[in-house]
Amino acid sequence: MLKQLKAGLMGLALAATAFIGPASADLSEILAAGKVKIGIPENFPPFGALGPEGDYVGYDVDVAKMIAEDLGVELELVPVTSKQRIPFLETDRVDLVISSMGANPSRAKSIWFSSAYAPFFSGAFAPAAMAIESMADLSGKKIGVTGGTLEDLELSEKGPKDMEIIRFGDNAATLSAYLSGQVEVLVTGNTVAAQLSADNPNLDVETKFIIKESPAFIGIKKGQMDLLQWVNVFILHKKMGGQLGELSEKWLGQELPPLPSL
C-alpha cells in the first residue's frame, strides 16, 4: 500500500512538472553556460545594423558588449526584427532583447522590462512644405510605418480614420518607401529619421510633430528575477559611471537625458 501511495505521488509530481513546463533560464544558468544570447536590431541604425566590416555595430550592440563583459561571459548576438523581439524571448532563443524597445502595458503582459537605458522619441516626418502639426493633419495622407512597432500602435489607436497606413516589414523598407515617394509621411523614431537625413543630405524631410516620448528598455523573459535585478544594477552603474552618456553622444549625437526607472 505504501509503495503504491509513493508511486502515485511521484506520478502526480511528474504530471505537474510536465504541465508547468521547463523553468526559464536565469542569471545563474547564463553564468554556468558561460554565454549570454542577446537580441539586437537587425537593421535599425544607429541602434544596430551591419557595419562596413560585416559586424553589427550601434548603441544597442555596444550595450550588449558591456553586459557580456560585466557578466564575464561570451556574447552571442542574435539579430531580430521588431516582430521577433518578444517571440524570441518567449521561446528562449535569446536571454535578453536590447533592440530600442519601448515599454507599454500590452507588451508587459508577455515580458518584463528593465529600467530605461537609451533615449528615443517617435515622430512624423515629411517635406518642409507639407502643413502637418498634429495627428489630425494626417487625414487623407499616405503614412509609411514599420509594422508591429510602437509607432504603428500609436497611429492605429490615435490617427484619423481616413489616413492610409502602409506597413512595411522593417525600417529599411519603410525608409525606401519614403525615398521613392510611395508614402507622403514617414512615422518613425528620431534616430532613424536623423540617419536618413545624414545618408541623403539633399532629402527634403523635417520633424513635423512628436508622437510619443518612448525611451528604450531591455526585454527580459518573465520569471527571470535575478537577471532583471542584475540588469537594473548594470544600467544604474553605467549611467552613474558615464558610459551610457558616452554612447548617447557617440551614436545619437546628444547628451543622455534623464531616463525613467522601473
Residue 115 lies in a domain: yes
Q: Provide the number of structural domains found in the chain.
A: 2
**Residue 209 sits in the same domain as residue 125:** yes
Q: Report helix, strand or coil for 24.
A: coil
**Model confidence over 156-209: pLDDT tens digits?**
999 999 999 999 999 999 999 999 999 999 999 888 887 888 789 899 998 899
Instruction: Give the lowest-confidence range in 46-50, 63-67, 250-254.
Output: 250-254
pLDDT tier for residue 25 given thresholds of 50, 70 and 90: low
pLDDT digits (tens, 9 = 90+) for 67-112: 999 999 999 999 999 999 999 999 999 999 999 999 999 999 999 9
Is 50 a member of any domain? yes
Confidence of residue 151 (pLDDT cuts 50, 70, 90): very high
pLDDT of residue 95: 97
Which among 221, 244, 230 is positioned nearest to 86, based on CA atoms? 221
Residue 63 backbone dihedrals phi, psi, to 5 degrees: -65, -40
In DSSP terms, 37 is beta-bridged to: 76
Say if CB 115 and CB 260 are below 8 A apart.
yes
B/e letters for 23-33, b = 16+ CB within 10 Å, e = fewer, are: ebbbbeebeee
Specify the DSSP element, H or E, that contains 143: strand 142-146
**C-alpha distances out from residue 104 to 91, 120, 150, 213, Å:** 21, 14, 9, 12
- Give the DSSP letter string of 27-92: HHHHHHHTEEEEEEESSBTTTBEE-TTSSEESHHHHHHHHHHHHHTSEEEEEEE-GGGHHHHHHTT
| SS3 of residue 238 by DSSP | helix
Q: Is residue 60 part of a domain?
A: yes
Segments forming the whole domain that contains residue 241: 24-119+216-252
Helix (H, G, I), strand (E, B) or coil at 261: coil
Q: Would residue 8 count as lying in a domain?
A: no
CA distance 151 to 80: 18
> How many residues are listed for the chain in this entry?
262
Of 233, 229, 209, give the one whose Cα is nearest residue 220.
Answer: 229
Residues 114 and 125 in one domain: no
Cell numbers 523635417 correspond to what residue? 206
pLDDT in tens, 207-249: 899 898 889 999 999 999 999 999 999 999 999 999 999 998 8
Residue 18 within a domain: no
Do 130 and 102 share a structural domain?
no
> In this structure, is residue 67 part of a structural domain?
yes
Query: At residue 23, does pLDDT exceed 80?
Result: no
Distance in angstroms (rounded) separating the CA atoms of residues 183 and 188: 13
Q: Are residues 144 and 201 in the same domain?
A: yes
CATH of the domain at 97: 3.40.190.10
Q: How far apart are CA 71 and CA 55, in angstroms?
A: 22
